[in-house]
A = this chain, B = another copy of it.
Amino acid sequence: MVKPISVGLLGLGTVGSGVVKIIENHQDKLSHQVGCPVKIKKVLVRDLYKERGVKIDAHLLTTDVNEVINDPEIDVVIEVMGGIEETRRHLLNALRNGKHVVTANKDLMALYGSELLTVASENHCDLFYEASVAGGIPILRSLVDGLASDRITKMMGIVNGTTNFILTKMCKYGAPYEEVLAEAQALGYAEADPTSDVEGLDAARKMAILARLGFSMNIDLDDVQVKGITEITEEDLNYSKRLGYTMKLIGIAHRDGDKVEVSVQPTLLPDSHPLASVNDEFNAVYVYGEAVGETMFYGPGAGSLPTATAVVSDLVAVMKNMRLGVNGRNAVAPQYAKRLKSPCEIFSKYFLRIHVKDQVGAFAKITAVFAEHGVSFEKILQLPLKNSELAEIVVVTHKASLQDYEEIFQKLRDLEVVQEVKSSYRVEGDGQL
């Protein structure tokens, strides 16, 4: 019998349990593809005696990470424990010990991806991280292999299931943010402290990873502009619906020439856009390539088994490389030096909702501010506000630079007739660039 490939697992939580289940349930398919069986040799856990959702031999468990990363018989280390600094040290040690690494850790890859990939390459080791973005959707591999020949110019992602669940419910039932957040927490779609999700940080990490790979450029997490969903109101959703838009938390990575922008923010999409019908906790990444045009990859963004599918598919890739003796030799360093767009090079349409004093000439004063910056309107709604001396103006602009937009925003707030700029969102076109 052929010698099995040995795996060490760091972590046995939600994703880790899924990994154990898939390796067990799909052993036939795995062996068939790789030509030898795969077995889990050691599992790092925090508590040896905790009840677990998966059956595993107690003697495989350890609380000492060295029993995994220093075991000469272990070929591949799978990291599903989360965390950043300590986990980084473990994986660097594992790679220096010649272990291939598969990780689902987006925080780690967004912050230390370049370093880890470099060390992997120096040690002729594979380092794969498909599960770190969009769970069960094989998006990283599609960017690298499936669209290998194309020049990717734009990626738009719904890459956080929690916020997509919240926005879907808010749109569908007209419920306020706090109420839906509480429901999401009760259902386990949102964590007790939801900050990282609702403030867009989780999505930003994934967009940094996507942009780095899709644009072949060392994008850092700090390069991603981020705005979360906590300030979205029912009024905003009503207006967007009325104007034919759907509100989503969208990560945008856009390349123009040799410069890029990466951001995460609540965005209005035309109802006809493929991303507009991605609902509930589902994720999707829309990719625009110069030659291929529009493509979209849709699926579960999280969950034990979907995420574990991505992890074990990475493991299969490592094992195939082991069989061929080519580990660590397919990694490609970034092709381009990082060049970010300045605010005068980032163009978009904008939705603004403004409360103005209901007096003669108010609207003219507002349009004058936009006109000064050469920005015109695509859509305008003006309505008196009930029980108020104020009127509500909603406009969707034609394309404006971020610099112009920010100056306009500031000037509007300073106008005497403007009581408040209630909200403002980026608006995307219908699938074209």
Query: Residues of A at under 8 Å CB distance from B?
Result: 18, 21-22, 25-26, 28-30, 32-33, 130, 136-138, 141-142, 145-151, 216, 274, 277, 282, 289-300, 303, 305-306, 308-313, 315-317, 320, 324, 326, 329-330, 332, 335
With A148-B312, A149-B309, A296-B296 already in contact, 18 other A-B pairs whose C-beta atoms are closer than 8 Å: A25-B151, A25-B290, A26-B150, A26-B291, A29-B151, A136-B295, A138-B145, A141-B142, A149-B312, A149-B313, A149-B315, A149-B316, A291-B308, A292-B309, A293-B300, A293-B306, A296-B299, A297-B298
Residues on B with beta carbons closer than 8 Å to the beta carbon of A329: 324
Whether A137 lies near B295 (C-beta < 8 A) is yes
13 A–B pairs (Cβ distance < 8 Å), ordered by A: A26-B291, A29-B149, A136-B289, A136-B292, A138-B146, A141-B141, A145-B317, A146-B310, A291-B309, A296-B298, A297-B298, A324-B329, A326-B326
Residues on B with beta carbons closer than 8 Å to the beta carbon of A18: 291
Q: Report the bound CA distance from A292 to B300 in whole Å.
A: 7
Q: Report the bound CA distance from A360 to B122 in whole Å.
A: 84
Q: Report the bound CA distance from A208 to B382 in whole Å.
A: 56
Closest to A332 in B: B33
CB distance from A433 to the nearest CB of B (A): 15
Residues on B with beta carbons closer than 8 Å to the beta carbon of A297: 295-298
Whether A141 lies near B149 (C-beta < 8 A) is no
Whether A292 lies near B306 (C-beta < 8 A) is yes
CB distance from A219 to the nearest CB of B (A): 17
Closest to A29 in B: B151
CB distance from A148 to the nearest CB of B (A): 4
Residues on B with beta carbons closer than 8 Å to the beta carbon of A306: 291-293
Whether B292 lies near A274 (C-beta < 8 A) is no
CB distance from A17 to the nearest CB of B (A): 12
Say yes or no: A298-B298 contact (C-beta < 8 A), given A29-B151, A291-B309. yes
Residues on B with beta carbons closer than 8 Å to the beta carbon of A146: 130, 138, 141-142, 310, 313
Say yes or no: A300-B309 contact (C-beta < 8 A), given A33-B148, A145-B138, A151-B29. no
Contact of A313 among B148, B274, B282, B335 (CB under 8 A): B148
Closest to A30 in B: B149
Residues on B with beta carbons closer than 8 Å to the beta carbon of A311: 149
Residues on B with beta carbons closer than 8 Å to the beta carbon of A295: 136-137, 297-300
Residues on B with beta carbons closer than 8 Å to the beta carbon of A312: 148-149
Instruction: Identify which of A25, A28, A293 gathers the most chain B CB atoms within 10 Å of its CB.
Output: A293
Residues on B with beta carbons closer than 8 Å to the beta carbon of A30: 149
Closest to A276 in B: B277
Q: Report the bound CA distance from A141 to B18 in whole Å.
A: 23
CB distance from A277 to the nearest CB of B (A): 5
Whether B309 lies near A299 (C-beta < 8 A) is no
Whether A26 lies near B130 (C-beta < 8 A) is no
Residues on B with beta carbons closer than 8 Å to the beta carbon of A136: 289, 291-293, 295
Residues on B with beta carbons closer than 8 Å to the beta carbon of A290: 25-26
Whether A150 lies near B291 (C-beta < 8 A) is no
Q: Report the bound CA distance from A397 to B30 in whole Å.
A: 39
Whether B148 lies near A316 (C-beta < 8 A) is yes
Whether B324 lies near A150 (C-beta < 8 A) is no
Whether A147 lies near B29 (C-beta < 8 A) is no
Instruction: Identify which of A295, A320, A330 gathers the most chain B CB atoms within 10 Å of its CB.
Output: A295
Whether B137 lies near A32 (C-beta < 8 A) is no
Whether A320 lies near B330 (C-beta < 8 A) is yes
CB distance from A290 to the nearest CB of B (A): 8
Contact of A300 among B147, B294, B298, B300 (CB under 8 A): B294
Instruction: Identify which of A18, A216, A291, A313 gathers the most chain B CB atoms within 10 Å of its CB.
Output: A291
Closest to A298 in B: B296
Closest to A296 in B: B298
CB distance from A297 to the nearest CB of B (A): 6
CB distance from A300 to the nearest CB of B (A): 5
Q: Report the bound CA distance from A148 to B312 in whole Å.
A: 8
Whether B145 lies near A145 (C-beta < 8 A) is yes
Q: What are the 3 closest A-B residue pairs judged by CB atoms, nearest first?
A: A138-B146, A149-B312, A295-B299
